[in-house]
Amino acid sequence: MMKKGVFLFALALALTFALGGCRRSAPPAAVEAAPPSPQAVAAAFQKGGCGACHIIPGIPTAIGTIGPDLSRMGEAATTILTAKSYTGKAKTVAAFVRESILEPDVFLSTQCPGGICPKGLMTPALAKSLSDQELNGIVRYLASLPGKSLTAPAQAVTTTVMTAPTLSDAEFASIKQIFFDRCAGCHGTLRKGATGPALTPDKTQPKGTAALAAIIFHGTPRGMPDWGKQGVLTQAQAETMARFLQNEPPVPPEMSLAQMKETWKVFAAPDKRPVAPQHTRDWEDFFAVTLRDAGQVAIIDGDTFEVLNKVDTGYAVHISRMSATGRYVYVIGRDGRATIIDLWLAKPDKVAEVKTCYDARSIESSKYKGPEGDFSDKYAIIGCYWPPHFVILDGLTLEPFKIVSTRSYTYDTEEYHPEPRVAAIVASHFKPEWIVNVKETGQVWLVNYTDPKAPSIKMLEAERFLHDGGWDATRRYFLVAANQANKVAVIDAQESKLIALVETPKTPHPGRGANWVDPQYGPVWSTAHLGEGALVAIGTDPAGHPGQAWKVVRTIPLPGGGSLFVKSHPNSPWIWVDHSLNSDEKIQRTICVVEKADPTKTARCWEVADYGRAVHFEYNREGTQVWVSVWGRADQPGKTGEIVIYDDESLKEVARVPNLVTPTGKFNVYNTVKDLY
Ligand code: DHE
């Protein structure tokens, strides 16, 4: 079956820009008798940008996979017209094709990646840029598929448009920053692609401005956010971004140790800090909560739910991690600014900060205490996206002292990569080692910090593109998502080797995952997925359950894809899962629980709020309450976001911490120190 919904979504936008005014109504208009030339039809497809989202036979650049493959459009239309589920007005195949272009939401195809095409994915505005003749040519051609094919002309069209559109200096400067803030995380600063596809000019120019702008504005079912619909980008900005993407990417500057040190500030030297907590609160049950768009981390008391302080940090803090003792919270901003917060102060506050990169996602502390030394709270490590390197710092002051570049060669093809970004980092409990995941080269580096000025590094070959992951319950095995490969790589931290690559559904995204004991298969670790509504359980007990180890032993269906995080706790009967990036407004704020005792299905799913997206979970120390973020919008008073706290036994709401600005990740001190999830 074919999509009505998406096909010309690219096309639609084109027209928005061109002929904003003139509207056509959908069906009747008969296809004119004289068929347009193949050249004209190919040019019309190109003008509408249809190939950005669809595969269209005869159009070499039409290889998009955001919407349905249109190779059998006419045949599919015939089937749909006779189906009871079709409620549109079309009576003929041509009328159906025409309706699907002009009123794409009348019938939603089931053939988008991940299932039914979301409403609004293809905008009727695209068709406005086409003349009647062009539209009719497209309709006639699609209605004839399969069986016909445009030949040579499409090639000619392609070569004529392969030039980059221009931008003014002001446009370039502002859109470059927006790209860095919003897009570089998935596509790479040099746009070579990772979680999102490559956006180099050879890929973007054939799509053209209209189609690119449509994707940027409306998003895709594969996880590209709908920046326009979210109100983050205007139509004009989407169009400027589309032009920017067709030009060569600018290369940002490097950063030296001297430059890092210029940003280094110590607000309270270690010898000026308290030797015991200055309050009587249970600081091991504090939560560090990212207030994303406020550039702050809130420290919230897990017993009383009081917000003890909102500490100014880097922009859009990505994660917080605890020192081995739990006294310090290490925080990393997307802008590469790291902050250390002392929880023993009467009012928990930052004691040092430094910027070691322009773009970063990970930070970790040294956790090893054993025969090789006590490294508790001694060092910190920051993983950077740009420049592509990691930095080792003093654990108490954040003084940076060692930079290690991750630029190297892809694990499989041994090709040089200029931007291998550092994704998740975890600290081993068995050895004085950090496990550093290098996204683009697909390598896992085991970095020994016994002599951190001269760290020894073992480079394991794993898979691309490494993203996020966590320990199994014994903390011997580290499981990390290679999200583009639809795999989870398993590292044995004790033996220092890769032991498995587990096939998963589309685009695994575990956060740190969830550990639990399956009634049938024993100890398992779970991840959900961005690309598919599925929660899987992977066996993690090679000694006790060798037949199940490093295999997906269970796949539990979810209401939809777009999941970012799962969570559990040894004391909990549940596994919790979100759907934050689902394109459906209701599903994106729906969370589900799966019962460990009956893990064949979700036990309950519900909407957490009537606005925003539900994202990320964290337990209190005892594992009796679960905190869920409602991720609102910083510019919508009353709906900026909040945290909802549930009783983990009854699943009843216990409290809300209201009026927080876009809360995302929440990190309980005790659980983060112990890696309980
Ligand atoms: Fe994250 C973890 C990267 C988008 C919230 N995110 C991680 C980690 C990486 C990463 C590498 C693992 C860190 C570790 O364990 O050391 N995230 C990226 C991206 O590159 C991406 C896809 C795009 C981007 O531009 O950043 C991205 N992440 C998001 C979001 O949009 C989220 C929801 C909100 C935000 O901050 O922008 C988000 N990411 C989080 C959170 C974690 C995380 C809350 C930690 C989960 C945990 O429980 O450990």
DSSP-assigned beta bridge partners for residue 503: 487
Tally of CA atoms within 13 A in the half-sphere of 468 that contains its CB: 22
- Of 587, 584, 581, 617, nearest in space to 196 by CA: 581
What percentage of residues in the chain have a pLDDT greater than 70? Answer: 92
The residues, any chain, with a CB within 8 Å of residue 645's CB and separated by 6 or more, are 305, 625, 626, 627, 628, 653, 654, 655, 656, 657
The answer to which of 13-27, 66-80, 288-302 has the lowest mean pLDDT is 13-27
Question: What's the maximum distance between 2 C-alpha atoms anywhere in the chain?
Answer: 88
Burial label, 349 (beta-carbon count in 10 A; 0-12, 13-18, 19+):
middle
Distances, alpha carbon 420 to alpha carbons 102, 168, 177, 384, in Å:
43, 31, 21, 9
The DSSP annotation for 214-236 comes to HHHHH--TTS---TTTTTSS-HH
Is 440 close to ligand 1, i.e. is its CB under 6 Å away? no
* 405 CA to centre of own chain: 24
Is 467 close to ligand 1, i.e. is its CB under 6 Å away? yes
pLDDT at 235 over 80: yes
Cis ω before 465 (30° cut-off from 0): yes
69 phi and psi angles, rounded to 5 deg: -70, 125
The pick from 319, 480, 577, 674 for probing ligand 1's pocket by mutation, whose C-beta has the most ligand atoms within 8 angstroms, reads 319
Locate the ligand 1 atom nearest the alpha carbon of residue 334 and give its number. 26
Distances, alpha carbon 539 to alpha carbons 319, 502, 509, 516, in Å:
27, 10, 17, 10
Question: What spacing in Å lies between the alpha carbon of 594 and ligand 1's midpoint?
Answer: 23
pLDDT at 55: 87
Is 530 close to ligand 1, i.e. is its CB under 6 Å away? no
Is 506 close to ligand 1, i.e. is its CB under 6 Å away? no
Please tell me the distance from the alpha carbon of residue 127 to that of residue 16, in angstroms, as a whole number. Answer: 8
Locate the ligand 1 atom nearest the alpha carbon of residue 426 and give its number. 16
The answer to which of 41-45, 245-249, 485-489, 623-627 has the lowest mean pLDDT is 41-45
pLDDT at 122: 78
Locate the ligand 1 atom nearest the alpha carbon of residue 364 and give its number. 16
Say which of 186, 279, 459, 605 is annotated catalytic.
186
Locate the ligand 1 atom nearest the alpha carbon of residue 421 and give its number. 11
Q: Quick check: 140 and 25 in contact, CB under 8 A? A: no
**Residue with more model confidence, 530 or 14:** 530
Is 316 close to ligand 1, i.e. is its CB under 6 Å away? yes
Question: What spacing in Å lies between the alpha carbon of 424 and ligand 1's midpoint?
Answer: 9
The pick from 230, 361, 564, 619 for probing ligand 1's pocket by mutation, whose C-beta has the most ligand atoms within 8 angstroms, reads 361
Q: And the tokens for 174? A: 């502002």
501 phi and psi angles, rounded to 5 deg: -125, 115
Q: How many other C-beta atoms can be found within 10 angstroms of the C-beta atom of residue 441?
A: 29
Asked about 579 being catalytic, the answer comes back as: no
Please tell me the distance from the alpha carbon of residue 147 to that of residue 158, in angstroms, as a whole number. Answer: 23
The residues, any chain, with a CB within 8 Å of residue 536's CB and separated by 6 or more, are 504, 505, 508, 526, 527, 528, 529, 552, 554, 555, 556
What digits encode the pLDDT tens for the residues 60-95? 778 777 788 899 999 999 999 988 889 899 999 999
Place of tokens 């550039």: 295
Q: Whose CA is nearest to atom 25 of ligand 1?
A: 185
Confidence tier at 261 by pLDDT (50, 70, 90): very high
- Of 496, 500, 558, 499, nearest in space to 527 by CA: 558
The model's pTM: 0.85
Please tell me the distance from the alpha carbon of residue 356 to that of residue 353, in angstroms, as a whole number. Answer: 10
* Residue range 200-228: mean pLDDT, rounded: 85
Confidence tier at 161 by pLDDT (50, 70, 90): very low
* Residue range 452-466: mean pLDDT, rounded: 97
Please tell me the distance from the alpha carbon of residue 41 to that of residue 46, in angstroms, as a whole number. Answer: 9
What digits encode the pLDDT tens for the residues 553-576? 999 999 999 999 999 999 999 999
pLDDT at 162: 66
Amino acid letter, residue 80 = I
- Of 487, 400, 396, 387, nearest in space to 444 by CA: 487
Is 562 close to ligand 1, i.e. is its CB under 6 Å away? no
Please tell me the distance from the alpha carbon of residue 591 to that of residue 606, in angstroms, as a whole number. Answer: 6
Asked about 187 being catalytic, the answer comes back as: yes
pLDDT at 666 over 90: yes
Confidence tier at 221 by pLDDT (50, 70, 90): low
What digits encode the pLDDT tens for the residues 367-405? 999 999 999 999 999 999 999 999 999 999 999 999 999
Radius of gyration of the chain (CA): 26
Asked about 429 being catalytic, the answer comes back as: no
pLDDT at 214: 84
pLDDT at 620: 98
Is 437 close to ligand 1, i.e. is its CB under 6 Å away? no
DSSP symbol at 5: S
pLDDT at 156 over 50: no
Confidence tier at 17 by pLDDT (50, 70, 90): very low
pLDDT at 118 over 80: no
Distances, alpha carbon 117 to alpha carbons 9, 82, 220, 460, 519, in Å:
11, 20, 9, 39, 37
Say which of 183, 241, 255, 260 is annotated catalytic.
183
| Average of per-residue pLDDT values in the chain | 90
| Pairing outcome for strands 552-557 and 566-567 | unpaired
Is 423 close to ligand 1, i.e. is its CB under 6 Å away? yes
Q: Whose CA is nearest to atom 14 of ligand 1?
A: 424
The answer to which of 123-137, 189-203, 453-467 has the lowest mean pLDDT is 123-137
Please tell me the distance from the alpha carbon of residue 117 to that of residue 584, in angstroms, as a whole number. Answer: 10
Confidence tier at 504 by pLDDT (50, 70, 90): very high
| Pairing outcome for strands 522-529 and 534-539 | antiparallel
* Residue range 175-198: mean pLDDT, rounded: 92
Is 671 close to ligand 1, i.e. is its CB under 6 Å away? no
Is 591 close to ligand 1, i.e. is its CB under 6 Å away? no
Is 535 close to ligand 1, i.e. is its CB under 6 Å away? no
Locate the ligand 1 atom nearest the alpha carbon of residue 185 and give its number. 25
- Three-state DSSP at 511 gives strand
Calculated CA dihedral for residues 100, 102, 104, 106, nearest 10 degrees: -80
The DSSP annotation for 251-291 comes to PPP---HHHHHHT-EESS-GGGS-SS-SS-S-GGGEEEEEE
What percentage of residues in the chain have a pLDDT greater than 90? Answer: 75
Place of tokens 């004209």: 40
- Of 391, 405, 410, 273, nearest in space to 343 by CA: 273
- Of 672, 577, 660, nearest in space to 617 by CA: 577
Please tell me the distance from the alpha carbon of residue 504 to that of residue 507, in angstroms, as a whole number. Answer: 8
pLDDT at 24 over 70: no
* Residue range 290-302: mean pLDDT, rounded: 97
Please tell me the distance from the alpha carbon of residue 266 to that of residue 270, in angstroms, as a whole number. Answer: 9
**Residue with more model confidence, 657 or 1:** 657
Locate the ligand 1 atom nearest the alpha carbon of residue 468 and give its number. 12
Locate the ligand 1 atom nearest the alpha carbon of residue 363 and give its number. 16
Please tell me the distance from the alpha carbon of residue 608 to that of residue 677, in angstroms, as a whole number. Answer: 21
Residue length, the chain?
A: 677
Question: What spacing in Å lies between the alpha carbon of 8 and ligand 1's midpoint?
Answer: 32
Amino acid letter, residue 616 = H
Question: What spacing in Å lies between the alpha carbon of 55 and ligand 1's midpoint?
Answer: 32
Question: What spacing in Å lies between the alpha carbon of 568 and ligand 1's midpoint?
Answer: 18
pLDDT at 124 over 80: no
Asked about 592 being catalytic, the answer comes back as: no
Is 439 close to ligand 1, i.e. is its CB under 6 Å away? no
Is 511 close to ligand 1, i.e. is its CB under 6 Å away? yes
**Residue with more model confidence, 444 or 11:** 444
Is 362 close to ligand 1, i.e. is its CB under 6 Å away? yes
Confidence tier at 442 by pLDDT (50, 70, 90): very high
Say which of 187, 318, 417, 579 is annotated catalytic.
187
- Give buried/exposed letters for 282-308 (b at 16+ CB in 10 A, else e): bbbbbbbbbbbbbbbbbbbbbeebebb
The pick from 468, 530, 576 for probing ligand 1's pocket by mutation, whose C-beta has the most ligand atoms within 8 angstroms, reads 468
Is 361 close to ligand 1, i.e. is its CB under 6 Å away? yes
Q: And the tokens for 188? A: 């790479």
pLDDT at 151: 58
Is 300 close to ligand 1, i.e. is its CB under 6 Å away? no
pLDDT at 30: 47
Amino acid letter, residue 305 = F
Q: Quick check: 612 and 631 in contact, CB under 8 A? A: yes
* Residue range 107-128: mean pLDDT, rounded: 76
Q: And the tokens for 485? A: 């490969």
* Residue range 28-53: mean pLDDT, rounded: 75
Question: What spacing in Å lies between the alpha carbon of 293 and ligand 1's midpoint?
Answer: 14
Please tell me the distance from the alpha carbon of residue 478 to that of residue 502, in angstroms, as a whole number. Answer: 13
Confidence tier at 231 by pLDDT (50, 70, 90): confident
pLDDT at 154 over 80: no
**Residue with more model confidence, 26 or 250:** 250
Is 665 close to ligand 1, i.e. is its CB under 6 Å away? yes
Q: And the tokens for 629? A: 């973020």
Please tell me the distance from the alpha carbon of residue 563 to that of residue 48, in angstroms, as a whole number. Answer: 32
pLDDT at 114 over 70: no
Q: Whose CA is nearest to atom 24 of ligand 1?
A: 185
Say which of 122, 224, 255, 592 is annotated catalytic.
224
